[in-house]
Amino acid sequence: MSDGLFITFEGIDGCGKSTQIAMLSEFIKENSGDLILVREPGGTAVGEKIRGVLLDKKNDGMDPVCELLLFEAARAQIVSEVIRPALAEGRIVISDRFFDSTFAYQGYARKLGEDMVEMLNSTATSGLEPDITFLLDIDPKEALVRRGQRGGETDRMEALGTSFQAKVRDGYLKLAAKSDRVVRIDASRDRDVIFEEIREIVTDELKKRGMQG
């Protein structure tokens, strides 16, 4: 276990991760102090360049293995440059996506297989795992409506459609069923109800670690 606390948020596009991350971040800043927010892919100079390539719809012909390796490259950089140093300093790190996304999107939905993804995840992170992962679970059709309400252009991954998102969701649910680290959250509910569930879990963990202000 790290000296700090590593929390990740997962789910299909439009599940409400950004909203819950913002609410939890504000709560932690008010109650526990030192916090760092990161996102995948991205979060470093190298990672942001890779993110641009991965999400650009002009690259819709990208081979799935190329896609997988680019995600892992960005992950290796942010783990070594940002996440591990922050945890070593006893800080709280919240990440919008981490290696569970790769399992759901590339390993399961893209059918590249669990073994390949697990090996590359382990290599990219040098074995680092989140302490808590919140899976915001929602029906892909409802998530599509939410993305429409949000507005803006869809990126390359969002543009793959609800059938692909349904496969991603199945991958996430398979992961949640076998991992105690992953907490499935019903993301179809009101955002304040969702946050209260998340807040209680995080508060308990902070108290156990003596990090509650």
Domain ranges of the chain: 5-207
For the domain covering 5-207, report its CATH number.
Answer: 3.40.50.300
pLDDT of residue 152: 67
Residue 108: C-alpha distances to residues 18, 174, 183 (Å)? 23, 9, 19
Per-residue pLDDT tens digits for 34-49: 899 999 999 999 999 9
Per-residue pLDDT tens digits for 51-81: 999 999 999 999 999 999 999 999 999 999 9
- Residue 127 is given by DSSP the state T
What mean pLDDT comes out for the span 125-151? 91
pTM confidence score: 0.94
Residue 103: C-alpha distances to residues 137, 178, 192, 206 (Å)? 15, 13, 29, 28
Q: Cis peptide before 85, with omega less than 30 degrees from 0?
A: no
- Assess whether pLDDT exceeds 70 at residue 186: yes
